[in-house]
Amino acid sequence: MAAAEYVPPMERKQRKEMRKSRMWSSVSERCDLSFSFARHLLHHPVVGGPQAGLPASHRCRGLYSLLTQRERRGELRPAEHLAVNEAFLPLGENAKPFVVDDLQNRLYCGGFSGDGESFLVAGQMDGILTYDTNTWKRLDIFPVRDIRWAVTDAHFTPDARGVMYSTISSTVRMVRDDGQKEFAFCLSDPRRRRSFRDFGVWSLGVNAAGTEFLAGTSGHSVVLHDMTTNTSVCHLQGHDDDVNAITFVDGPQSSNVFVSGSDDCYIKLWDRRMMSEANARPQGVFVGHTEGITYMSSRDDGYYFVSNAKDQTTKLWDLRKCVDHADVKHMPRQFEWDYRWEEYPGNVQGHKPHPQDQSVMTYRGHAVKETLIRCYFSPMHSTGQRFIYSGSADGEVVIYDVLTDAVVDRLESVEQGVTRDVRWHPFKPMLVSPDFHGQVCVWQKEILKVHS
């Protein structure tokens, strides 16, 4: 009988990586992590502002217990990692506002680079500013051409060496290497009648490789553009009104499936592998909003995304629960109003839902008017994506619990200018909100020393 081959035990690092891969292998396990995190907080409360009613000694004891367990076992479980991070999140008494710059111009959008080392702001200025997120010193000013009222959307390129931006024109531009290299991508289609050739771009989505981008336009169209050849792959006339929002939804490593949201109240699902201009038929439709869509962002797991709309709600959607285009029943608008200067005429709390509403959850508590207010999932690294957060027309940053739809916190700035965009650092416990007063406000627990 042959001797059995000796297999040495796996090292701790290997076991840890295997557990991590199993932990994040499916969306159900991610949701289970959120539930286990909530259960863990019942036994080890870490953070509790005045609204939580927990004495400081009780909160500290939970954190001390976790650190003690880490020393005994050598590591923390994923739910325990999140519980430790909870002590430093910019929520409740931890949310201290620090104004790092005052630009005296309306700021429409902001965004972190992929590594979180840089942050950009853009708006009614002739440049896009970038900051070092460690010192909040200005790094670069990228020039903006053909601005036409404001920069409507701006993103770092995937390699973080440049910036892409759109304005209310049919040309999207990319600036690289400290403004020394500039590229213009014209999206106009000379084959179309003039009313659909001259349009503005409201939203951009860049693919993972940085070779293609999507544009939602005021011409009721979605444009897929190839940056390597500077040609538009497809013009989809898939909506009956302005396309305000667009985003890829099939995960950070793939860029084939995306959704578009319009003022026609519909969100449509597309697969670029099946698109054609001759048959602008989506793979599915998400019905539930009763007013125009203002923004959408993905959970980057291939399953869930969120949307903001002028019906004063944020909705959570499951990609597997769309309806066929032929099964959508048109619902007439409940109100005739202009969100740019009028108050929402409906009752937000007593809102009449759409009879075909397919959303998973609905979140209410922020104001969507004057501009296209944005919403996002909180980052996986520091929160396990257990929050959804949104800007608000009343100047607040509103944070919701994904699972319960409860308002976790409201961050109120001093000036209370319209907060169109707000971003959560991908790794650090930090929120940044540019507003219509021109202020760039950082929310965090640690005292921030702004370097001039």
pLDDT of residue 277: 78
Radius of gyration over alpha carbons of the chain, in Å?
23
**In whole angstroms, what is the distance from residue 229 CA to residue 386 CA?**
40
Q: What CATH number does residue 309 fall under?
A: 2.130.10.10
pLDDT of residue 249: 94
The answer to whether residue 401 sits within a structural domain is yes
pLDDT of residue 54: 42
The answer to whether residue 198 sits within a structural domain is yes
- Which residues of the chain fall short of a pLDDT of 50? 1, 4, 6-7, 22-30, 32-33, 35, 39, 42-61
What is the tally of structural domains in the chain?
1
Is residue 203 a contact partner of residue 246, using CB atoms and an 8 Å limit?
Answer: yes
Is residue 222 a contact partner of residue 260, using CB atoms and an 8 Å limit?
Answer: yes
pLDDT digits (tens, 9 = 90+) for 323-332: 998 899 888 8
Is residue 293 a contact partner of residue 265, using CB atoms and an 8 Å limit?
Answer: yes
The answer to whether residue 130 sits within a structural domain is no
Closest C-alpha to 315, from 375, 270, 257, 260 = 375
The answer to whether residue 253 sits within a structural domain is yes
**Residue 306 CA neighbour count, 13 Å, CB half:** 24
The answer to whether residue 68 sits within a structural domain is no
pLDDT of residue 10: 54
Is residue 258 a contact partner of residue 247, using CB atoms and an 8 Å limit?
Answer: yes
**In whole angstroms, what is the distance from residue 377 CA to residue 359 CA?**
16
pLDDT of residue 42: 45
Q: Do you know the residue count of the chain?
A: 452
pLDDT of residue 119: 98
Q: Please give the C-alpha separations between residue 101 and each of 129, 304, 432, 439, 452, in angstroms, as whole numbers.
A: 11, 34, 11, 6, 10
Closest C-alpha to 265, from 216, 309, 318 = 309
Closest C-alpha to 424, from 379, 388, 387 = 379
pLDDT digits (tens, 9 = 90+) for 112-148: 999 999 999 999 999 999 999 999 999 999 999 988 8
The answer to whether residue 175 sits within a structural domain is no
pLDDT of residue 226: 94
Q: What is the residue-wise DSSP string for 30-88?
A: HHHHHHHHHHHHHHS-----GGGT--HHHHHHHHHHHHHHHHHHSS--HHHHHHHHHTT
Q: In the beta sheet, which residues pair with residue 119?
A: 112, 131
Q: In the beta sheet, which residues pair with residue 164?
A: 155, 174
Extended beta strands in 196-287, E state: 201-206, 212-217, 222-226, 231-236, 243-248, 257-262, 267-271, 284-286
Is residue 414 a contact partner of residue 97, using CB atoms and an 8 Å limit?
Answer: yes
pLDDT of residue 93: 87
Closest C-alpha to 204, from 170, 241, 172, 168 = 172
Closest C-alpha to 452, from 53, 99, 51 = 99
Closest C-alpha to 157, from 124, 186, 188, 181 = 181
Residues of the domain holding 419: 187-423
Look at strands 313-318 and 361-364 and give their pairing.
antiparallel
The answer to whether residue 127 sits within a structural domain is no
The answer to whether residue 116 sits within a structural domain is no
